[in-house]
Structure 1
């Protein structure tokens, strides 16, 4: 079954990744007003969370891609520690997302009569879990880099990554085309892995969880044999 909202979901996930990245950069600078940053991050997170309600995706969701990309470019250009400038740009992005959310809510209401039994989309939640893992992994890259450890050149990590990338790509593809169906446990475990990555302050537990994630994905969705 084709997902008519695939582009909107992809754009939303990419947006969250870029904005989260920017927040991480600001959080690492002592000159940034951390109270303002935390308030801004909470506001942005709350807006993104609203898109995780299954009913949002019952109808076509239209997010203005051009406006979003313009906002992301502006956000990327804000220099640390200019938190007020960052707030202004993120606020513009939030307005764009709010407009998309309102429009999708109107569409969902229009089609509610034949969609009342729709349940949670576990595959979409699993895809969001994988994206959450991607964000937390990137966060660990930055965390370890700040401590003089470059995972991009770490031989042990690159070996783990070499195994995981094709597994994750295959799992993502199968979730999207629904040839593999996720359940509530899958979603819980994927989000658990993301939390475990974020909590890993040493290489050993990070590498352990990364390998366990590959084991989990391979069990759920093995690579096709030649």
Structure 2
């Protein structure tokens, strides 16, 4: 059985990934965490993707904290998904995630389903990924609006690591990954964050592994992988 132990995962901090890399299976879990400033609720997007190509399993986690999946973009379908969108901004203190008017209510469903094969993917105004060098890369055949391409979309740090031993495949501003135990890894930054108010997004190539990020500090955080059915570390 694939798990955090055998697969590891891709992690994006204060950045975004649009087309998931080919070394991940199409069944992918991505978890994003942020704090909604006006009512202090923690937002957890936990989409499962079951697409047949990169475009169909696309998602995005932006430094500006404009987080969207399945239509949560500032495009033609924005009003359709008005109860599931998040808006925010970044400043010198770090990342601020807040609810926009008519965006999130106390009864909103915060579990999102990701893009399906509906054609909605073509309506998104911005299709970029962040390379391991921190450079913006346009996804094939998709033209983003210039106003959506700015420094806020650059990843502050990211890492692709092996969960078996913590070895790093590729990274940006990550000094190391320590495997503490089964399903428990600590990621350390080369340059610390300005504060603890940053966004984390993780993915695993096995959908039965629930990935979470805990104990965020200026210099590190922990990645925990649990079996979604039993809750056991894996």
Query: Smaller-chain TM-score range?
Result: under 0.3
Q: TM-score, normalised by structure 1?
A: 0.27
Q: Which has the higher helix share?
A: 1
Higher RCO (C-alpha under 8 Å, 6+ residues apart): 2
Larger Rg: 1
